[in-house]
Amino acid sequence: MKHATLLVVDDNRNILTTVRMLLSSVFERVVTLASPVGIPARLREDKPDVVLLDMNFKSGINTGNEGIFWLHEIKRLSPHTEVVLFTAYADIELAVRGMKEGAHDFIVKPFDNEKLVSTLLACLPKGRKVQAPQDGSAATPTDGHAAQGAMYWGESPVMRDLRMMVEKVAPTDANILITGENGTGKEVLAAEIHRLSSRSKTQGAGQRRETFFPIDMGAISETLFESELFGHVKGAFTDAKADKPGKLELATGGTLFLDEIGNLSYGLQAKLLTALQRRSIVRVGGAKPIPIDVRLLCATNKDLQQMVNDGLFREDLLYRINTIHLHLPPLRERKGDIAPLASHFLHRYADLYGRQGLSLSPEAAERVEQMPWPGNIRELQHAMERAVILCEGDTVMPRDLPSVPTAHHAEAVEQPTTLDGMERQLIAKTIDDCQGNLSQVAAQLGISRQTLYNKIKKYGL
């Protein structure tokens, strides 16, 4: 636990409860506020080291202006207090603006628990951080240094070769295609490539590192594709009430990571290719080309060459994104890394839950090495988190591990873990509070309806 104080400001009491539960074992004190008007008093009395600040507080108003106002107030009243902004995915451009005006970073709702923790820890001076494995970092839409999970390479020959290749290509601006099964760590590798690149380096005193910007191509509907990636001008369509930059524009100067590129429809592939070739975009409804400067990283679990052969993926786009091809092997092909990875995650979650000193028993280590792990690193990571929570002593025993996976286990990999269960509980309670009105649920949680639908499907609600 850090000797540091966190102030969380959000008008959604469910979120306040969830964040307090998650972070009470990480920070010495977690103070919560449901209204920003109490911020000045809390700054005086509690002297928080970090403030986690929502950007919208008035019902029906989603401009983010309140968040920006209170960001300025916090920095005026307590210049050394770091601020991390809470924002919905649709309002990322507001968060980017907030970073330019003094915020340290931002977190997108619904948040990943470990990502939230690591982003907040990154705000603290080095001397006040919890000791963590020094083996690299990865990030979400941020500066590339607040880790969602450290890049743990392992010592297997295939991973040593991959690491050598990454060290060669990361400093360049070459486009890279990362392939691998679900759960092998493609986004973590992409963030590591960004971290090692010149685009993550601070350009001068006081200037921020450039952005690592991941986009899930499978989560963007065809009707919103152009608006999301290219932006739009006011009046371009019915709901276009203001100019809005697209994700390609926001990522300029940094690294753009297109996850699940194989999910993009054939027609939309052409539009993406045109933007990449011209290195410029035109906002929907606009006429002026806007230059973009991004380093492109893509990932997929599909065989894109076979998709080209089947007429499902454009060959010219494949050439554009595939200057360098990196493949992440599944755990079954790097068995020598399983036990070290398990220990790595065990120590990470032991730190997170305030249970330092936990270790794997020889029997548990043998059990871990024998399991097939069809969900790869993600499944192993969740299993170690579960073990830390369930372990009754200082040593993890086989009984603390999941049962040996059956044929159906691969389908269960994506089911909620204990931390995911917090999100499931939050969504279920909000649905109940809103009497099933999903529009209200999405608005209260600060997420899009499509994201809410995906979460409902994921958790079987």
At 209-257, the pLDDT tens digits run: 467 888 888 767 777 788 888 888 888 887 778 888 888 888 888 899 9
Matching residue, tokens 């390479």:
153
The predicted structure's pLDDT at residue 307 = 95
Mean pLDDT of 112-116: 77
**Burial class for 309, CB neighbours closer than 10 Å (0-12, 13-18, 19+):** exposed
Mean pLDDT of 155-161: 91
Name the pLDDT band for 322 (thresholds 50, 70, 90): very high
Which pLDDT does position 433 carry in this prediction?
73
Lowest-confidence region among 30-34, 60-64, 366-370, 440-444: 60-64
Q: How far apart are CA 224 and CA 222, in angstroms?
A: 5
Mean pLDDT, rounded, of the chain: 80
pLDDT (0 to 100) of residue 438: 74
Here the tokens at position 377 are 């690193």
- pLDDT, greater one: 427 or 439: 427
- What distance in Å separates the CA atoms of residue 371 and residue 13, rounded to the nearest whole number? 41
Closest by CA position to 256, among listed 198, 190, 192:
190
In this predicted structure, what is the pLDDT of residue 147?
A: 38
C-alpha 17/C-alpha 132 separation (Å) is 26
* pTM higher than 0.85: no
- Would the pLDDT of 190 be above 70? yes
Would you state the structure tokens that stand for residue 239, as one six-digit string? 């709901």
Domains present along the chain, CATH in parentheses? 2-128 (3.40.50.2300), 157-327 (3.40.50.300), 343-412 (1.10.8.60), 418-459 (1.10.10)
> What is the predicted pLDDT for the residue at 407?
36
Q: What's the rounded Cα separation, in Å, for the pair 87 and 257?
A: 20
pLDDT tens per residue across span 258-312: 999 998 888 889 989 999 999 999 998 888 999 999 999 999 999 999 999 999 9
Higher pLDDT among residues 341 and 225, named by residue: 341
- Find the mean pLDDT for residues 98-119: 80
Pair of tokens at residue 164: 């050598």
Residue 135's pLDDT band, with cuts at 50, 70 and 90, is very low
pLDDT-derived band at 146 (thresholds 50, 70, 90) equals very low
CA distances in angstroms from 238 to 233, 234, 242, 440, 442, listed in the order given: 11, 9, 11, 21, 20
Q: Averaged over 446-453, what is the pLDDT?
A: 72
- Tens digit of pLDDT for each residue in 385-437? 888 888 888 999 998 888 754 333 444 344 444 456 667 777 877 777 776 77
**pLDDT higher than threshold 50 for residue 318:** yes
pLDDT, one tens digit per residue, over 62-73 is 566 788 889 999
**Among the listed residues 265, 258, 249, the one whose alpha carbon sits nearest the alpha carbon of residue 320:** 258
